[in-house]
Amino acid sequence: MNILIIDDEKNIRLTLADILGDEGHTIFQAESGEAGLKKLEAENDIDLVLLDVRLPGMDGIEVLKTIREKKMNLEVVMISGHGTVGTAVEAIHLGAYDFWEKPLSIARIQVALRNLSDKDNMSRQVQQDADVREDRYRMVGSSDEMDRVKSLIDRVGPTDSRVLIRGESGTGKELVAHAIHKSSKRINAPFVRFNSAAIPNDLVESELFGHEKGAFTGAQLQKLGKIELAHGGTLFLDEIGDMSGSAQAKILRVIEEGTFERLGGTKTIHVNVRILAATHKDLEAMIQEGEFREDLFYRLNVIPINLPPLRNRHGDLEQLLDYYLDKFAAELNYERKVFAPDALKLLNQYSFKGNIRELRNLVERLYILVYDKTILASDVEPHFLTNSLSQKGNYSFIDIPSFANARREFEVFYLNQALERNGGNVSKTAEAIGLQQSNLSRKIKELDLKK
């Protein structure tokens, strides 16, 4: 840590400097409050100030007030040989981290510095986690299509209106939901996501509404559901089209009355949540088939936002590629790669049926499998799912009559390419693609591949 000692007693400054210097800290010194403030202005990276209360001229309390008024992001420990309870309380009230009385205890100093260091590391980690979350939900693209979406988000965000976000799989519906939450009055309250398609039907209501102890076999403790956890904030119901009829009815009640009961419970719970929903399914057709409640549809569909597929977002592909090239260079600790012009041309001609999710997976895969800094068209083309895997011409996977056959053909193509890239070396190939060597050998035999 970088520590500034402000004390008019030279012996105190030198003693503290020796002790703290031996602990590996960088020490700065000032003999008065005015000199200390000048030092803080000159040195922008000071982490901690050890500040004597009684100083000539401006006293320590005044220095502390000035530091807080200037919003300097550092901790202050007050030191006094004539401390009183009143002074200590005032210092802590003004934001001092601690109050030490002279003569100073070396053990106490070491413990306090260790705690401060731990606090600083924790703060850094929290900030890093926040930055990661912010990056995860970043909306990339400035096409006219996405500008219209962003404009809708700006208009609907500050309200409490329900929003139904629709679009193909992989278009970024969760990003839109999070952006609405971030632009709302609930920004400091929870954003809770619930994916109906990811949870077995018999567990949906327990996860969503919670349960009481003993509500069913295995329910040994009370559990709060997603709705309760989202109280005061936003509940994002992803893949709402996959929700069971029973859960739909209970969600309708939450919307209409703001109430529900946990499974196995009789107590009515009141909640205040904003509900955002998303789906890639044709809900109107599902209503006709009796698979989705019409009344729920109209309550969710107050503000519809339709996300365009990537193939219709003109001009966004290059921005997304730059974003993912930077992202995976950092995450994988690789040199940043670039796409050759012929590769970019090929990417612009591709339809990306899996949308942004397919693009993201493609860039990550190319980072791992392509050794050179420049990614060529010949590196990209084998990974397009609309290309023939058996090199017999162009066709779509949908032309393969069954899932099992399509999977087998993909495995044959992918493993042949990986083996060829690694000179037929099974051990090297297994390491490159993340398979156990025994599993790869079994696959080679099962698929009758030529090493």
Q: Is the pLDDT of residue 388 over 50?
A: no
CATH 1.10.10.60 residue ranges in the chain?
385-451
- How many other CB atoms are there within 10 angstroms of residue 288's CB atom? 11
User: 212-265, pLDDT tens digit by residue?
Assistant: 888 887 778 888 899 999 999 999 999 999 999 999 999 999 999 999 999 888
For residue 364, the number of C-alpha atoms closer than 13 Å in the C-beta half-sphere is: 10
- CA pair distance 237, 279, nearest whole angstrom: 9
* pLDDT classification of 395: cutoffs 50, 70, 90: very low
3-state secondary structure the chain: CEEEEECCCHHHHHHHHHHHHHCCCEEEEECCHHHHHHHHHHCCCCCEEEEECCCCCCCHHHHHHHHHHCCCCCEEEEEECCCCHHHHHHHHHCCCCEEEECCCCHHHHHHHHHHHHHHHHHHHHHHHHHHHHHHHCCCCCCCHHHHHHHHHHHHHCCCCCCEEEECCCCCCHHHHHHHHHHCCCCCCCCEEEEEHHHCCHHHHHHHHHEECCCCCCCCCCCEECHHHHCCCCEEEEECHHHCCHHHHHHHHHHHHHCEECCECCCCCEECCCEEEEEECCCHHHHHHCCCCCHHHHHHHCCEEEECCCHHHCCCHHHHHHHHHHHHHHHHHCCCCCEECHHHHHHHHHCCCCCHHHHHHHHHHHHHHHCCCCEECHHHHHHHCCCCCCCCCCCCCHHHCCCHHHHHHHHHHHHHHHHHHHCCCCHHHHHHHHCCCHHHHHHHHHHHCCCC
In this predicted structure, the answer to whether residue 402 has a pLDDT above a threshold of 70 is no
Q: State the pairing for strand pair 259-260/75-80.
A: unpaired
Question: Which residues are paired to 165 by β-bridges?
Answer: 278, 305
Least confident piece of the model among 1-15, 161-175, 432-446: 432-446
How many alpha carbons lie under 13 Å from residue 55 in its C-beta half-sphere? 28
The CATH code for residues 144-308 is: 3.40.50.300
CATH topology (fold) of 385-451: Arc Repressor Mutant, subunit A (1.10.10)
Taking alpha carbons only, the member of 68, 65, 40, 53 closest to residue 7 is 53
- Amino acid occupying residue 405: N
Per-residue pLDDT reduced to its tens digit, 188-207? 899 999 998 888 877 888 89
Note the pLDDT tens digit of each residue in 118-166. Answer: 766 655 554 455 545 566 778 899 999 999 999 999 999 999 999 999 9
Q: What does pTM read for this prediction?
A: 0.60
Chain centre to alpha carbon of residue 229: 18
pLDDT at 407: 76
**Cα 146 to Cα 152: distance, rounded to the nearest angstrom:** 10
**Alpha carbon 418 to chain centroid, angstroms:** 32
The pLDDT score that the predictor gives to residue 173 is: 95
As annotated, the residues of the chain forming the CATH 3.40.50.300 domain(s) are 144-308
Burial of residue 171, with CB atoms counted within 10 A of its CB: 0-12 exposed, 13-18 middle, 19 or more buried: buried
Q: Tell me the pLDDT tens digit for each residue of 293-322.
A: 999 999 999 999 999 999 999 999 999 999
Q: What is the pLDDT of residue 394?
A: 44
Q: How many CB atoms lie within 10 A of CB 193?
A: 17
Q: Of the spans 161-175, 205-219, 430-444, which averages the highest pLDDT? A: 161-175
For residue 164, what are the contacts with CB-CB under 8 A and spacing of at least 6?
240, 277, 278, 279, 300, 301, 302, 303, 304, 305
pLDDT tens for each residue of 314-348? 999 999 999 999 999 998 989 999 999 999 999 99
Residue range(s) of every CATH 3.40.50.2300 domain in the chain:
2-132
Q: For helices 426-433 and 403-421, give the axis angle rounded to 10 degrees.
A: 120
Topology annotation, domain 311-373: Helicase, Ruva Protein; domain 3 (1.10.8)
Q: Which listed CATH number (3.40.50.450, 3.40.50.2300, 1.10.340.30, 3.90.1010.10) goes with 2-132?
A: 3.40.50.2300
Which residue intervals of the chain bear CATH 1.10.8.60? 311-373
